[in-house]
Amino acid sequence: MSTTGNGIPRRRGKRLAASAAGIAAVALTLAACGGGDSGIGGGGDEPPPAAEECPCEIRFSWWGSDTRHASTQEIIEAFEAENPDITVVPDFTDWDGYWDKLATSVAAGDTPDVITMEERYISDYATKSVLADLGSLEIDTSKVDDGVLAGGQIDGTQYGIPTGINAYALVADPELFADAGVDVPDDTTWTWEDYVATANAVSEGAGDDVWGTQDYGFNEAGLNVMARQRGESLFTPEGELGVSEETIADFFQVSLDLMEGGGQPDAARTVEYQAAGPEGGLLGTNQGAMGVWWTNQLGALSESSGHELELLRLPGETEGERTGMYYKPAMFYSASADTEYPQAAAKFVDFMLNSQEAAEIMLTDRGLPANTEVREAVLGDLPPTEQKVAEFMADIEDEIVDTPPVPPHGSAELADIMERINTEVLFERITPEEAATQLIEEVNAAIAG
């Protein structure tokens, strides 16, 4: 669960050249700043773009695995075949290096024309005028659900268009449930207490080295769902923290109850499984019957476990005031506010969002396609696990109340804060109540700064 909503382990791997990159960034920035303010974040008073701007070359940046690089390259070729006067230069890296590289490029005044964005970072970039208002460009968003589209809006401006959607859900391994002699719970009615009891029962019944569930406390998405079930929200539309101390304490208490009842491993093991990503976690290694993951991680989880895994609603959906689950934009397509070729950039975004051809290559690699029309069209082509995801997403559609607002500027730090505080709770160095106070304090400091 230490992953982004896109199945990529967060903050893992090497950064040998980090300091060098920082130094280079700094040097380049100084050079860029020498010429006045125009280099960074400008574009406000530029004249409107000329109608005929191409032939031209635009750069598209994204993160991901090798499969995504290969499929994206194919999409670029398809786009170029349709638009021979536009050349798209690929600019890709793994998730670990992506944000360092992007920040450095922006600092150097070399922002990619089309940028892949993510929920945690979009506010940072939007409020610093790095991103263009996509509403003013020619991109057809009529096939995207309004609620989903709103996920890319800040103060009414469309800074990003969702590529696709994911949901934060409970993944269960029916085989391990059967081994333990426990029934897979009815996810339409189960409560958080049921969840703890179920996990404890599985651990009890399954014997050594198999646990009921993997700890969920490292990811703020779970806290958001619990908050929403209680009529709160992790962040308010005004960009403030909207979750109560009580909810946060209850959220962490679930982990402690699970550890005490044996439903999840001891703290040190939990930290280790957490770091091992979906493949190395409890579900992936057949050592746990449940885990909370993003729906697009089902494929990776199923593959490494070799079992047929099921998607369940998170507990508590019928327990509180309202349901808490939501569609999360997997990523966003954004454009640079400084791009020389806004029309070409818009054309490319439009192609990736709306073209049948692009969708057939991409499938669900950037989430279940946000464009509902192409989503329908590619359903038949999907592998079984992806079809399961699509079905699950359709099942919960009517229950979803709304899309959470875009997290405020500075919220990128929340992931690290969560991870740190959850570790302290698991090792029982602080109580859930202290954790709640500390979380609120640290997040407020992060979003204020």
Using the rule CB under 8 A, give the single segment among 36-44, 145-153, 226-234, 359-367 that binds other proteins: 36-44
Name which of 11 and 143 has its Cβ closer to other proteins: 11
Binding status of residue 293 toward other proteins by CB under 8 A: no
φ/ψ of 235, rounded to 5, equals: -125, 145
Judged by CB under 8 A, which of 91, 215, 338, 419 binds other proteins? Answer: 419
How many beta carbons lie within 10 A of that of residue 120, not counting itself? 20
> Taking the complex as a whole, how short is the minimal distance between the CB of residue 322 and other proteins, in angstroms?
34
174 binds other proteins (CB under 8 A): no
Rank residues 138 and 272 by Cβ distance to other proteins and give the closer one. 272
Give the span between the Cα atoms of 346 and 341, in whole angstroms.
Answer: 9
| Residue selected from 1, 40, 292, 335 as contacting other proteins according to rule CB under 8 A | 40
CB closer to other proteins, 126 vs 390: 126
Given a contact cutoff of 8 angstroms between Cβ atoms, the answer to whether 90 and 120 are in contact is: no
- 46, 155, 272, 395: which one contacts other proteins (CB under 8 A)? 272
Least distance between other proteins and beta carbon 121 (Å): 9
Toward other proteins, which CB reaches closer, 95 or 392? 95
Q: Which of 85, 128, 322, 391 binds other proteins (CB under 8 A)?
A: 128
- Which residue, 26 or 394, is less far from other proteins as judged by CB? 26
d(CA 73, CA 66): 11
Check binding of 89 to other proteins (CB under 8 A): no
Burial of 142 (0-12, 13-18, 19+ CB in 10 A): exposed
Contact between 4 and 10 (Cβ < 8 Å): yes
Maximum distance among all alpha carbons in the chain?
A: 71
Q: Candidates 69, 143, 307, 420: give the one binding other proteins (CB under 8 A).
A: 420
Q: To the nearest 10°, the Cα dihedral for 412, 274, 63, 120?
A: -20
Tell me the two tokens of residue 102. 């992007």
Burial class of 196 by CB neighbour count within 10 A (0 to 12, 13 to 18, 19+): buried
Place of tokens 């600092």: 107
Among 11, 69, 143, 307, binds other proteins (CB under 8 A): 11
**What is the closest distance, in whole angstroms, from the C-beta atom of residue 421 to other proteins in the complex?**
8
Question: Does the protein bind other proteins through residue 322 (CB under 8 A)?
Answer: no
Our finding on whether 414 is near other proteins (CB under 8 A) is no
Parallel, antiparallel or unpaired: strands 164-172 and 288-294? antiparallel
CA 289, CA 426: separation in Å to the nearest integer? 20
- With residue 334 as reference, give the H or E element that holds it: strand 332-335
Min dist. Cβ of residue 28 to other proteins (A): 9
Give the three-class secondary structure for 235.
strand
DSSP, res 137: S
d(CA 75, CA 347): 13
Tell me if 117 contacts other proteins by CB under 8 A: no
Q: Does residue 213 bind other proteins (CB under 8 A)? A: no
**Number of chain positions touching other proteins (CB under 8 A):** 55
Answer for the pair 324, 316: CB distance below 8 angstroms, yes or no. yes
Contact status: 70 vs other proteins (CB under 8 A): no
Segment contacting other proteins by CB under 8 A, of 13-21, 57-65, 146-154, 359-367: 13-21
Q: Which stretch binds other proteins (CB under 8 A): 47-55, 94-102, 234-242, 394-402?
A: 94-102
Q: Considering only residues 372-411, where is the footprint of other proteins by CB under 8 A?
A: 410
Give residues 220-259 in contact with other proteins (rule: CB under 8 A): none
Question: Does 216 sit near other proteins (CB under 8 A)?
Answer: no
Q: How far apart are CA 122 and CA 119, in angstroms?
A: 6
The residues, ordered by sequence, that sit 6+ positions from 334 with a Cβ below 8 Å of its Cβ are 114, 115, 116, 117, 122, 125, 131, 132, 134, 152, 159, 160, 161
CB of 429 to other proteins, least distance (A): 7
Q: Is 66 in the site for other proteins (CB under 8 A)?
A: no
- List interacting residues with other proteins (CB under 8 A): 2, 10-16, 18-19, 22-27, 29-30, 33, 37, 39-41, 96, 99-100, 103-104, 106-107, 124-125, 128-130, 266-272, 275, 410, 412-413, 416, 419-420, 423-424, 427, 429, 446, 449
